[in-house]
Amino acid sequence: MTSIAMQRRRATVSRVWAQFRSSRQGMIGLAVLLVFVAVALAAPLLADVRELNPVYARAQGNPQWGPPSVFPPLGTDYIRRSVWAQFVWGSRVSLFVGLAATVLTILIGSVVGIVAGFVGGKVDAVLMRVTEWFLVIPFLPLAIVLASVLGRNVWNIIFVIGITSWPSTARLVRAQVLTVKQRLFVDRARSLGAGGGHIVAHHILPNVSGLILANATLAVPISILTETTLSFLGLGDPTAASWGKTLEEAFVNGAMARNAWWYFLPAGLGILAVVLAFTLIGRTLEEIANPRLSRSR
Amino acid sequence: MRAGVTPLVEVEDLHVHFGAARAVDGASVHVLPGEVLALVGESGSGKTTLIRAIQGLQKPTSGTIRVDGAGGSSPGKVQTIFNPSVQMVFQDPTGALNPRQTIYEIVAEGLRIKGEAGGEAEQVWAALSRAGLRPPERFFPMYPHEVSGGQRQRVVIAGAMVMEPRLLLADEPVASLDASIRGEILALMRRLVDETGLAILVVTHDLGLAWNIADRVAVMYLGRIVETGPTEQILEDPRHPYTRALLSVVPETREMEQQILTGEIPDPARIPPGCRFHPRCPLLQSGILPETISSRCPTDDPGPTPLEAVSAAACWAVTSGAGPSALWASPG
Amino acid sequence: MSDSLLSIRDLSITYHTQGRAVPAVRRVSLDIEKGGSLGLAGESGCGKSTLANSILRLLPAGTEVTGHITLDGKDVLGLTPGGLRAVRWTAGAIVFQGALHALNPVQTVGDQIAEPMSLHRTVADDDAAKVRVVELLRRVGLPAARAESFPHELSGGQRQRVLIAMALACDPQLLIADEPTTALDLMVQAQVLALLEDLKEERDLTLLFITHDLSVLTYACERLAVMYAGRIVEEGPAWEVFENGSHPYTRALAAAFPTIGDEGSRMAPSGLGGDPPTPGDLPGGCPFHPRCPLAHDACLPAEPELRVSGEARRAACVLV
Ligand SMILES: Nc1ncnc2c1ncn2[C@@H]1O[C@H](COP(=O)(O)OP(=O)(O)OP(=O)(O)O)[C@@H](O)[C@H]1O
Ligand SMILES: Nc1ncnc2c1ncn2[C@@H]1O[C@H](COP(=O)(O)OP(=O)(O)OP(=O)(O)O)[C@@H](O)[C@H]1O
Ligand code: SF4
Ligand code: SF4
Ligand SMILES: [Mg+2]
Ligand SMILES: [Mg+2]
* DSSP code for C238: H
| pLDDT tens figures, A37-90 | 999 999 999 988 888 888 998 888 888 898 888 887 888 998 899 999 999 999
**In chain C, whose CA is at the least distance from the CA of A12?**
C18
Q: How far is CA C208 from the centre of its chain?
A: 5
Give residue A84's pLDDT: 92
Q: What is the DSSP string of A15-47?
A: HHHHHHHT-HHHHHHHHHHHHHHHHHHTHHHHS
User: From CA A33, how far away is CA B321, in angstroms rounded?
Assistant: 85
According to DSSP, residue B70 is labeled B
Question: Which CA distances in Å does B265 have to B159, B227, C26?
Answer: 36, 20, 43
Domain total for chain A?
A: 1
CB of A206 less than 8 A from some CB of B: yes
Dihedral sign from CA coordinates of B97, B101, B107, B110 = negative
Determine the structural domain holding residue A158 and report its residue range. Answer: 18-42+68-76+87-295
pLDDT at residue C222 in the model: 92
Within a domain: A287: yes
C-alpha–C-alpha distance, residues C159 and C151, integer Å:
7
Q: What is the CATH number of the domain that holds A218?
A: 1.10.3720.10
Classify residue A202 by its DSSP letter. I
Q: How far is CA C277 from CA B139, C244, C271, C286, in A?
A: 14, 24, 15, 11
Cα–Cα distance for residue pair A106/A215, rounded to 1 Å? 8
Question: Which amino acid would we find at residue A8?
Answer: R
In a domain, A59, yes or no: no
Model confidence at A147: pLDDT above 80: no
Give residues with Cβ within 8 angstroms of B66, minimum separation 6: B7, B9, B10, B12, B72
DSSP per-residue codes, A51-69: GG-HHHHHHHTPPTT--TT
pLDDT band at A292 (very low <50, low <70, confident <90, very high): very low
Q: Over pLDDT 70: what percentage of chain A?
A: 95
Domain assignment present for A224: yes
How far is C38 from A52, CA to CA, in rounded Å? 80
Rounded distance, CA C272 to CA C251, Å?
10
Q: Give the ligand 1 atom nearest the CA of B46.
A: 18
Residues C307 and C214: their CA atoms lie apart, in Å, by 22
Closest approach of A104 to chain B, Cα-based (Å): 26
Name the average pLDDT for chain A: 87
Domain boundary assignment for chain B: 1-85+165-332, 98-164
CA B147 / ligand 2 centre spacing (Å) = 6
pLDDT of residue B107: 95
Are A49 and A92 spatial neighbours (Cβ–Cβ below 8 Å)? no
Q: Which residues sit with their C-beta closer than 6 Å to ligand 4?
A: C 247-248, 286, 288-289, 292, 294-295, 299, 304, 317-319
The reply to whether A15 touches chain B by the CB within 8 Å rule is no
| pLDDT score of C217 | 86
Cβ within 8 Å, pair B134-C275: yes
Pseudo-torsion of CA A237, A241, A247, A253, nearest 10°?
90
CATH class of B1-85+165-332: alpha beta
pLDDT of residue A294: 40
pLDDT, residue C197, reads: 83
Q: What does the alpha-carbon distance between residue A78 and residue A67 come to, in Å, rounded to a whole number?
A: 11
Whether the Cβ atoms of residue C51 and residue C28 lie closer than 8 Å to each other: yes
Nearest to B120 among A1, A193, A194 (CB): A1
Evaluate whether B11 touches B65 at the Cβ level (below 8 Å): yes
Q: What are phi and psi of B293, to 5 degrees?
A: -90, -50
Residues C245, C254: contact at Cβ < 8 Å? yes
How many inter-chain contacts (A to B, CB under 8 Å) are there? 76
Residue A254 domain-assigned (yes or no): yes
The residues of chain B scoring below 50 in pLDDT are: 1, 73-80, 330-332
Alpha-carbon gap, residue B46 to B40, rounded angstroms: 10
Q: Which residues contact C52 (CB under 8 A, 6 or more apart)?
A: C40, C94, C176, C178, C208, C210
Neighbours of A74 (CB within 10 A): 21
pLDDT score at A4: 66
For residue B175, the chain C residue with the least C-alpha distance is: C182
Length of chain C: 320
The pLDDT assigned to B262 comes to 66
Please identify, by atom number, the ligand 4 atom nearest to the C-alpha of residue C247. 5
CB C44 near ligand 2, within 6 Å: yes
Contact C152 A182 (CB under 8 A): yes
* Res A74: pLDDT: 87
C-alpha of C134 from chain center: 27
Contacts of C56 in chain A (CB under 8 A): none
Whether the Cβ atoms of residue B218 and residue B228 lie closer than 8 Å to each other: yes
**Interatomic CA distance for residues C250 and C241, integer angstroms:** 8
Which residues of chain C have a pLDDT value below 50? 1
C neighbours by CB contacts (3+ pairs under 8 Å): A, B
**Ligand closest in space to the Cα of C47:** 2
Q: How far is A8 from chain B (nearest CA, A)?
A: 7
Closest CA to ligand 2's atom 31: B147
Using the 8-state DSSP alphabet, how is residue C9 labeled?
Answer: E
Q: What's the mean pLDDT in A18-27?
A: 90
Distance CA B204, CA B218 (A): 11
Q: What is the pLDDT of residue C165?
A: 87
A11 inside domain: no
Cα–ligand 6 centroid distance for A164 (angstroms): 49
Q: The sheet that has B36-41: what strands, in order across it? A: B86-89, B167-171, B199-204, B36-41, B216-221, B224-230, B312-313
Q: Do B180 and C271 touch (CB under 8 A)?
A: yes
CB-based contact B57 A190, cutoff 8 Å: yes
Ligand 3 center to residue B227 CA distance, Å?
A: 12
**Is this prediction's pTM over 0.90?**
no
pLDDT for A296 beyond 70: no
A179 found inside a domain: yes
Nearest to A189 by CA among C155, B203, B49, B98: B98
What does the pLDDT look like over B231-262, one tens digit per residue?
999 999 899 999 998 888 887 655 567 777 76
For residue A47, is it within any domain?
no
Closest partner residue to A191 (CB to CB) among B88, B100, B102 is B88
**Residues from chain A contacting residue C61 (CB–CB below 8 Å):** 295-297
CA atoms within a 13 Å half-sphere pointing along the CA-CB vector of A290: 14
Strand B21-31 versus strand B9-18 pairing type: antiparallel
